[in-house]
A and B are shown apart, each in its own frame.
Chain A
Amino acid sequence: MADWSYIPQVLVSGLGIGCVYGLIGIGFCVIYNASGIVNFAQGAFVMLGGMITHVLLARHGVPLPLAALIAIAAVALLGVAIERIVVRPLWNRKATMFVMILATLAAQIVIERLTLIAVGDQPKTLPVFTDRPPLMLGNVAVGYQFLWIVGGSLTIVGLLAAFFSLTRTGKAMRACSINREAAALQGIPVSRMLALAFALSAALGAIAGILITPTQYTAFNVGVPFAISGFIAAIVGGFGRPFGAFLGGLLLGLLQALAIVVFGAGLKNVAALSVLLLFLFIRPSGILGAAK
């Protein structure tokens, strides 16, 4: 029998991981909206965010904030490189969605293996950003890293909302997702917008990875599970809807956390994939309704 007194505590941690899933889910949406491509290399961005920060910090003594910024920039550049080297040539040849998914999955595996060669298979972690004992709200412990995750994610979501609704570049990216041909007719450089979408999406993944690593660990192979959770978040929110994906992430995080209490930790992925199947069967357009 489960111990129900843990539930508030479990929900807090579910909310934290949910924010991370949400950020990854937004990454899926940003690329999908710009191109119709589902980018399964998304998990590699998450893994590398934490990993590069760890390497800079632990091996080169770079201070954490600087290490994190360098990691985010490096991963964003890698996103552009994947767009140029893997996606663009296929896109120009009008490759099918199926080919794109396989190609990005291949990129994911290549990055994963290169990371294994570079840093080995041992799990790595990052120090928490603020090293203080958790705040106690009643008998619920709220760690400072949780506050970083939630605050950081909400800040990112707010900045993204401002970018897409206030800046001309953000509006142009939306225009490309609404009608790429009409966007081209306005002189909007649609292919540069695709590269930008990859950069943005990669940076989001890296940020998610950096935020979550102190509470868990990172290793060469954590990318795929994160990508799957982010993908589920995007499906649940209504694919192509960035803010739906964030909500989807929160929902998934909470459900997973509850599943751990009720069924035990071993079944947390079963719960997540069940959510995916349930939505695909019953409401494939997600809670907000899929874009387009």
Chain B
Amino acid sequence: MSPSVAAAPTTAASSPILSTTGLSASYGHARALHEVDIRVGEGELVAVLGPNGAGKSTLLRALLGLVANSGEVRFRGASLPRQNAVAVASRGIVLVPEGRGIFGPMSVADNLELGAYRLHDKAEFARRRERVLTLFPRLKERLGQVAGSMSGGEQQMLAIGRALMAGPQILLLDEPSLGLAPRVTGEILETLGLLNREGLAIVLVEQKAPLALKLANRVYLLSLGRIAAELDPRDITSHDDLAQHYFA
């Protein structure tokens, strides 16, 4: 473990919103995640970094129960069901998956509505939608458009907007920058930073470390399916520092 753990300015130790103990996951016989322990504090933005194939996506998929897994995941103190993504999502643990998973043939408005599938309070629905359209004004112009015909950046905004419609307790994002132009990525990460400052707990999986480091309160480095280090981003002043950890 990194010596910087003690210095990390985290509330996670006192009141984690989400924590895992010995979380392992496998695809068939291939084990992709080994006994991972992480915790996310209330209002914290935790970045999970690591090279391709380190198990970052698997970690998020295991949290939701989308992949065969063992170990424990606790959400606000209560144990979560392990193989039932619908039940996990219904508690407000909302994943924006890799590749975005928008409903391409449906309209932007329908995609947003389905994000709030379990919400039946019309006033609250309107409030959340207004909020999403304020955060991503570009979606407002495209409400009637078929979602799959939008640009990659707009689709990512829709995926995040749809997740926000669920009123998430914690938002998990799997490489939101994938395939996007730097300017759009910047815009999206800025919005995530804003949401976090308003108190939303976020877990951000990224391959592009510098982007995530700007926002994160705390960083886990994942390597070969294990937590290689837990870092305070303020201690990482240069690329070399991070590279050292990557290859340590």
Indicate whether A257 reaches chain B with its CB closer than 8 angstroms: no
Known: A168-B117, A171-B114, A187-B90. A182 touches B102 (CB 8 A): yes
Decide if B106 touches A186 in the complex (CB within 8 Å): no
Please measure, in the bound complex, the distance between the C-alpha atom of A19 and the C-alpha atom of B105, giving whole angstroms.
27
Indicate whether A130 reaches chain B with its CB closer than 8 angstroms: no
How many positions in chain A have a CB within 8 Å of any CB in the partner chain?
A: 18
Decide if B103 touches A190 in the complex (CB within 8 Å): no
Decide if A178 touches B89 in the complex (CB within 8 Å): no
In the complex, per-residue mask of A212-235: 1 if CB is within 8 Å of any chain B CB, else 0 = 000000000000000000000000
Decide if A171 touches B101 in the complex (CB within 8 Å): no
In-complex Cβ contact of A171 among B89, B90, B94, B106 (8 A): B106
Please measure, in the bound complex, the distance between the C-alpha atom of A80 and the C-alpha atom of B104, giving whole angstroms.
29
Which residues in window 87-114 of B have CB below 8 A to A? 89-90, 94-95, 97, 101-106, 110, 113-114
How many positions in chain B have a CB within 8 Å of any CB in the partner chain?
A: 23
Decide if A178 touches B85 in the complex (CB within 8 Å): no
B86 / chain A contacts, CB cutoff of 8 Å: 184, 187-191
Please measure, in the bound complex, the distance between the C-alpha atom of A186 and the C-alpha atom of B86, giving whole angstroms.
7
B117 / chain A contacts, CB cutoff of 8 Å: 168, 172, 186-188
Which B residues fall within an 8 A CB radius of A? 64, 66, 85-86, 89-90, 94-95, 97, 101-106, 110, 113-115, 117-118, 162, 166
In-complex Cβ contact of B103 among A178, A184, A189 (8 A): A178
Q: A168-B117, A172-B117 are in contact. List 7 more A-B contacts (CB 8 A).
A: A175-B103, A178-B103, A178-B104, A183-B103, A184-B89, A186-B89, A189-B86
A-B contact pairs, 26 of them (CB 8 A): A168-B113, A168-B117, A171-B106, A171-B110, A172-B114, A174-B103, A174-B106, A175-B106, A175-B114, A178-B103, A181-B85, A181-B97, A181-B101, A182-B102, A182-B103, A183-B114, A184-B85, A184-B89, A185-B89, A185-B101, A186-B166, A187-B118, A187-B166, A189-B86, A190-B86, A191-B86
Indicate whether A179 reaches chain B with its CB closer than 8 angstroms: yes
Please measure, in the bound complex, the distance between the C-alpha atom of A171 and the C-alpha atom of B89, giving whole angstroms.
18
User: Number of A-B pairs whose CB atoms are under 8 Å?
Assistant: 60
Decide if B101 touches A187 in the complex (CB within 8 Å): no
A191 / chain B contacts, CB cutoff of 8 Å: 86
B85 / chain A contacts, CB cutoff of 8 Å: 181, 184-185
**Chain A interface, DSSP helix/strand/loop, else mixed:** helix
B103 / chain A contacts, CB cutoff of 8 Å: 174-175, 178-179, 182-183
Please measure, in the bound complex, the distance between the C-alpha atom of A30 and the C-alpha atom of B214, giving whole angstroms.
47
Decide if B94 touches A185 in the complex (CB within 8 Å): yes
Please measure, in the bound complex, the distance between the C-alpha atom of A181 and the C-alpha atom of B113, giving whole angstroms.
17
Q: What is the chain B residue whose CB lies nearest that of A292? A: B105
Query: In the complex, what's the smallest C-beta–C-beta distance from A194 to chain B, in angstroms?
Result: 12
Which A residues fall within an 8 A CB radius of B? 168, 171-172, 174-175, 178-179, 181-191
B94 / chain A contacts, CB cutoff of 8 Å: 185
B113 / chain A contacts, CB cutoff of 8 Å: 168, 171
A181 / chain B contacts, CB cutoff of 8 Å: 66, 85, 97, 101
A187 / chain B contacts, CB cutoff of 8 Å: 86, 89-90, 117-118, 166
Query: In the complex, what's the smallest C-beta–C-beta distance from A267 to chain B, in angstroms?
Result: 40
A189 / chain B contacts, CB cutoff of 8 Å: 86
Please measure, in the bound complex, the distance between the C-alpha atom of A181 and the C-alpha atom of B85, giving whole angstroms.
8
Query: In the complex, what's the smallest C-beta–C-beta distance from A118 to chain B, in angstroms?
Result: 39
Give 4 closest A-B pairs by Cβ, nearest first: A182-B101, A187-B89, A184-B85, A187-B90
A183 / chain B contacts, CB cutoff of 8 Å: 103, 114
Please measure, in the bound complex, the distance between the C-alpha atom of A118 and the C-alpha atom of B118, giving whole angstroms.
44
B106 / chain A contacts, CB cutoff of 8 Å: 171, 174-175, 178
